[in-house]
């Protein structure tokens, strides 16, 4: 009886040991009743300690759908199996797809590693999915103990439901899983194709019309393409081009959502709607929020690098919930302005499509998963999310096309206006030439008439009066020569801008030029003008020259604060030729890429005004040596102004004195010219 009781006791199978015939395995055997488990919350359990630990039944550990643990999950499962069959056969244990999985068999008091796999380190293309089926090999009549170590670092844990299959059953399960996920992969591939088309259109349009809106939209599309392409890497039995970088799908999960749906969305909206000019307050809000999102993305990358995968998910959940109402407020504010700004409609409709799709997907997840798990699944590309992304992309792309059309119409209208303005300028030029010719004829006739009168009244008038009248008439004739010379130079500048198709600068140049023409005609009738008028005239002229040189020159007009510019008078058009000469030769210095021009007005004495015109050009001596005109050429404006000064001195006894100094004569290192003009106050 003692021997019989010992034999009977040895044949009794423990309650936590699965005793089954491997040749007649039930289909899809649920292993939860025979699995014992422990959870390693601190991650401190060593391989040597595992066989000595107390395992227990924990039904809450298992789940047949995704579960948001809020943090990483590390657990050990122990399975004791007895083969009651007569043949040595192998069955397969499948527990799901997890980040890190280690399959051990107990040999004595040691654990031997049989399989090591996981979604965070598998790099063997599509065959990596076969690693998740663990072999359970037990000789007939024997019992073996196996251990499965599962370490999920990501806060969203895939289904954990251990099942035992034979070869045929596992093959059927594999085919069913492949068919299920193939539908999701086909949907993602369709989305990737459409996003790629949108990206291509954006790049082509940017080449045709360089606009930041296209760059932001292209970056948005590129981020979405990478995000959805990485979703394939977590679909069982679906080929992904990123299988060599398994960690990339974790790095570009939550950061991708923040980058695409917040950062690039804000940047695109700011540029597309031109918020800086139309809605500056909203533009400031967009900038502040975009800066915050940029900082959050950096924090997410840091947390992922440190292995804190649950933190970015929590951050995104808070950001998503915190922005629901502010986004509605922004949409409402934009809706009020959509009547006056047609581009707002495209942006508003696209934003609302994705907003409603995202919120609808979130509501649909709450019921089966609960609020916490639903927040964790916000990054999952559901059908509603895909439809929302496509609708948003289509509206944004349509808005960009409409914006391109508006820009094209605006350019066409601007060109038409410029052509009309150029035609008017030609007419104005023709009229000015006729007026100048008539003026020269009138002045010539007047000179001849005055000469004749002076000859007839030579005996009546004093010689001094005769010289004064003659000098005044000659002064008017010289001033009539200055006007065509200046107008010719300005018209050449306008023609240069038109030939370069710089219509914006051409239009501004024409406006300033018309001001100069009016002032020139006005000054030509007057011998003296106020210093304030002369400064305004020179400032406008130098502004035109700066535009013509494409901002490669800088100028400054400095006036002594003691000078009453509105009361002090100087000869009209006396300084302009020297300033023009300084601009001409001051921009050709090879050592200085930017020409510098300084004009100073100083009160050197109570009745003496000093005007200094200083440039950093090649200098007066070098400019003379570089001239290619014949020696008898006498069209220089400086020579005309010098003659005017002499005539004014004779007529009004003013004592105007002009000095031209080459800076290289004093210092060989410096170059340029200084024109010093002393004008006594009348």
Using an 8 Å Cβ cutoff, are 127 and 238 in contact? no
Q: Which helix (H) or strand (E) holds 111?
A: strand 110-117
Q: Are 138 and 185 part of one and the same domain?
A: no
Q: Are 371 and 243 part of one and the same domain?
A: yes
Using an 8 Å Cβ cutoff, are 474 and 443 in contact? no
Using an 8 Å Cβ cutoff, are 147 and 77 in contact? yes
Residue 381's pLDDT band, with cuts at 50, 70 and 90, is: low
Candidate from 43-47, 81-85, 367-371, 389-393 with smallest mean pLDDT: 367-371
CATH of the domain at 576: 3.30.565.10
Alpha helices in 457-567 (DSSP H): 463-499, 503-524, 531-548
Q: Are 525 and 642 part of one and the same domain?
A: yes
Residue 484 in this model has a pLDDT that exceeds 70: no
What pLDDT does 612 receive? 94
At 265, is the secondary structure helix, strand, or coil?
helix
Candidate from 237-246, 487-496, 541-550 with smallest mean pLDDT: 487-496
Residue 468's pLDDT band, with cuts at 50, 70 and 90, is: low
Residue-wise burial string across 327-354, b where 16 or more C-beta atoms lie within 10 A, e elsewhere: beebeeebeeeeeeeebbbbbbbbbbbb
Q: Which residue has the higher pLDDT, 102 or 456?
A: 102
Instruction: Give CA–CA dist 90/100, Å, rounded.
Output: 23
Q: Are strands 553-559 and 595-605 parallel, antiparallel or unpaired?
A: parallel
In-domain check, residue 436: no
Residue 491 in this model has a pLDDT that exceeds 90: no
Q: Are strands 528-530 and 73-83 parallel, antiparallel or unpaired?
A: unpaired
Q: Long-range contacts made by residues 368-374, C-beta under 8 angstroms, separation at least 24?
A: 368/65, 369/65, 369/66, 369/68, 372/68, 372/70, 373/66, 373/67, 373/68, 373/156
DSSP annotation of 574 reads S
> Of the spans 315-324, 507-516, 594-603, 635-644, which averages the highest pLDDT?
594-603
Q: Are 578 and 673 part of one and the same domain?
A: yes
Using an 8 Å Cβ cutoff, are 162 and 93 in contact? yes
In-domain check, residue 276: yes
What pLDDT does 95 receive? 93
Residue 303 in this model has a pLDDT that exceeds 70: yes
In-domain check, residue 454: no
How many angstroms from the chain centroid is the CA of residue 271? 9
Residue 379 in this model has a pLDDT that exceeds 70: no
Q: Are 71 and 184 part of one and the same domain?
A: no
Q: CA separation (Å) from 556 to 89, 158, 382, 595, 630?
A: 96, 72, 64, 11, 34
Residue 633 in this model has a pLDDT that exceeds 50: no
Q: Are 139 and 53 part of one and the same domain?
A: yes
Candidate from 148-157, 468-477, 506-515 with smallest mean pLDDT: 468-477
- The predicted model gives 550-558 an average pLDDT of 85
Q: Which two tokens stand for residue 163?
A: 């099942």
Number of Cβ atoms within 10 Å of the Cβ of 529: 18
Residue 666 in this model has a pLDDT that exceeds 60: yes
What pLDDT does 1 receive? 33
Q: Cα angle at 630 between 444 and 648, to 5 degrees?
A: 40
Instruction: Give CA–CA dist 186/381, Å, rounded.
Output: 13
| pLDDT tens string 314-332 | 888 888 888 888 888 888 8
- The predicted model gives 264-292 an average pLDDT of 88
Residue 645 in this model has a pLDDT that exceeds 50: yes
DSSP annotation of 9 reads H
Q: Are strands 608-615 and 673-680 parallel, antiparallel or unpaired?
A: antiparallel
Nearest by Cα to 275 from 221, 329, 341, 322: 341
Q: Are 613 and 535 part of one and the same domain?
A: yes
Q: Are 104 and 130 part of one and the same domain?
A: yes
In-domain check, residue 1: no
CATH of the domain at 56: 2.60.40.2380
Q: Which domain holds residue 492?
A: 484-680
In-domain check, residue 360: yes
Q: Are 117 and 237 part of one and the same domain?
A: no
Instruction: Give CA–CA dist 103/88, Å, rounded.
Output: 20
> Of the spans 14-18, 406-410, 441-445, 645-649, which averages the highest pLDDT?
441-445
At 74, is the secondary structure helix, strand, or coil?
strand
Q: Are 160 and 241 part of one and the same domain?
A: no
In-domain check, residue 291: yes
| pLDDT tens string 185-234 | 888 888 889 999 999 988 888 888 788 888 999 999 999 999 888 888 88
Q: Are 129 and 236 part of one and the same domain?
A: no
Q: Bridge-partner residues for 660, per DSSP?
A: 675
Q: CA separation (Å) from 204 to 197, 270, 395?
A: 11, 21, 18
| pLDDT tens string 222-269 | 999 998 888 888 888 887 788 778 888 888 888 988 898 889 999 998
| pLDDT tens string 514-541 | 888 888 778 777 878 899 999 998 998 8
pTM of the complete model: 0.56
Three-class HEC string of 514-536: HHHHHHHHHHHCCCEEEHHHHHH
Residue 110 in this model has a pLDDT that exceeds 70: yes
Instruction: Give CA–CA dist 45/55, Å, rounded.
Output: 13
Which of 398, 421, 437 finishes a domain? 398
Treating both helix axes as pointing N-terminal to C-terminal, what angle do 310-322 and 342-376 enclose, rounded to 10 degrees?
A: 140
What pLDDT does 127 receive? 76
Domains: count for the chain: 3
Which of 165, 196, 215 finishes a domain? 165
Kindly state the percentage of the chain with pLDDT values over 90.
17
- The predicted model gives 50-61 an average pLDDT of 88
In-domain check, residue 55: yes
In-domain check, residue 446: no
What is the rounded average pLDDT for all residues in the chain? 81
Q: Are 186 and 152 part of one and the same domain?
A: no
Which of 105, 139, 165 finishes a domain? 165
């Amino acid at each position: 009886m003692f021997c019989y009781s010992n034999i009977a006791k040895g044949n009794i199978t423990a309650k936590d040991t699965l005793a089954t015939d491997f040749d007649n395995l039930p289909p899809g055997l649920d292993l939860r009743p025979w699995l014992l488990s422990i959870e390693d919350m601190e991650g401190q359990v060593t391989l040597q300690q595992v066989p000595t630990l107390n395992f227990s039944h924990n039904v809450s550990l298992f789940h047949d759908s995704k579960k948001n643990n809020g943090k990483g999950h590390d657990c050990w499962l122990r399975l004791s199996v007895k083969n009651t069959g007569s043949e040595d056969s192998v069955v397969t244990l499948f527990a799901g797809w997890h980040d890190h999985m280690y399959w051990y068999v107990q040999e004595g008091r040691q654990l031997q590693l049989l399989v090591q796999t996981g979604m965070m380190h598998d790099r063997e293309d599509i065959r990596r999915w076969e690693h998740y089926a663990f072999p359970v090999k037990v000789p007939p009549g024997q019992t073996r103990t196996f251990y499965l170590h599962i370490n999920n670092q990501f806060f969203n844990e895939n289904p954990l439901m251990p099942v035992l299959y034979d070869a045929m059953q596992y093959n059927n399960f594999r085919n069913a899983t492949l068919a299920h996920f193939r539908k999701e992969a086909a949907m993602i591939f369709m989305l990737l194709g459409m996003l790629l088309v949108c990206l291509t259109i954006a790049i082509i349009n940017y080449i045709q019309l360089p606009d930041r809106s296209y760059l932001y939209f292209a970056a948005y599309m590129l981020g979405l393409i990478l995000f959805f392409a990485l979703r394939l890497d977590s679909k069982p039995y679906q080929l992904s081009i990123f299988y060599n970088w398994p960690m990339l799908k974790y790095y570009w999960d939550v950061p991708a959502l923040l980058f695409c749906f917040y950062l690039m969305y804000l940047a695109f909206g700011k540029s597309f709607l031109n918020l800086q000019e139309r809605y500056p307050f909203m533009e400031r809000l967009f900038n502040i929020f975009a800066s915050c999102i940029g900082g959050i993305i950096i924090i997410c990358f840091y947390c992922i690098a440190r292995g804190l995968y649950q933190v970015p998910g929590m951050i995104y959940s808070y950001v998503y919930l915190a922005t629901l109402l502010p986004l509605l407020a922004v949409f409402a504010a934009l809706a009020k302005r959509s009547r006056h700004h047609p581009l707002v409609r495209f942006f508003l409709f696209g934003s609302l499509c994705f907003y409603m799709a995202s919120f609808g997907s979130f509501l649909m997840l709450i019921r089966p998963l609960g609020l916490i798990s639903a927040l964790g699944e916000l990054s999952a590309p559901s059908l509603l999310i895909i439809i929302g992304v496509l609708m948003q992309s289509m509206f944004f792309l349509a808005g960009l096309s409409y914006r391109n059309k508006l820009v094209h119409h605006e350019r066409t209208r601007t060109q038409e206006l410029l052509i009309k303005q150029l035609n008017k300028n030609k007419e104005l030029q023709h009229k000015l030439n006729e007026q100048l010719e008539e003026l020269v004829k009138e002045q010539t006739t007047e000179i001849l008439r005055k000469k004749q009168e002076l000859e007839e009244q030579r005996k009546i008038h004093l010689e001094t009066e005769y010289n004064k009248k003659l000098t005044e008439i000659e002064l008017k004739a010289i001033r009539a020569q200055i006007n065509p010379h200046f107008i010719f130079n300005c018209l050449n500048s306008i023609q240069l801008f038109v030939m370069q198709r710089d219509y914006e600068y051409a239009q501004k140049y024409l406006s300033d030029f018309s001001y100069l023409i009016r002032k020139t005609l006005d000054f030509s009738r007057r011998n003296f003008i106020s210093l304030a008028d002369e400064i305004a005239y020179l400032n406008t002229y130098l502004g035109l020259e700066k535009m013509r040189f494409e901002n490669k020159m800088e100028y400054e007009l400095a006036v002594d604060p003691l000078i009453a510019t509105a009361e002090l008078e100087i000869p009209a058009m006396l300084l302009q030729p020297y300033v023009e000469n300084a601009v001409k030769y001051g921009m050709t210095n090879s050592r200085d890429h930017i020409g510098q021009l300084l004009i100073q007005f100083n009160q050197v004495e109570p009745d003496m005004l000093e005007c200094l015109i200083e440039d950093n050009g090649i200098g007066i001596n070098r400019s003379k040596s570089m001239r290619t005109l014949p020696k008898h050429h006498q069209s220089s404006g400086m020579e005309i102004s010098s003659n005017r000064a002499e005539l004014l001195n004779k007529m009004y006894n003013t004592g105007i004195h002009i000095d031209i100094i080459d800076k290289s004569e004093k210092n060989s290192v410096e170059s340029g010219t200084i024109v010093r003009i002393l004008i006594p106050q009348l």
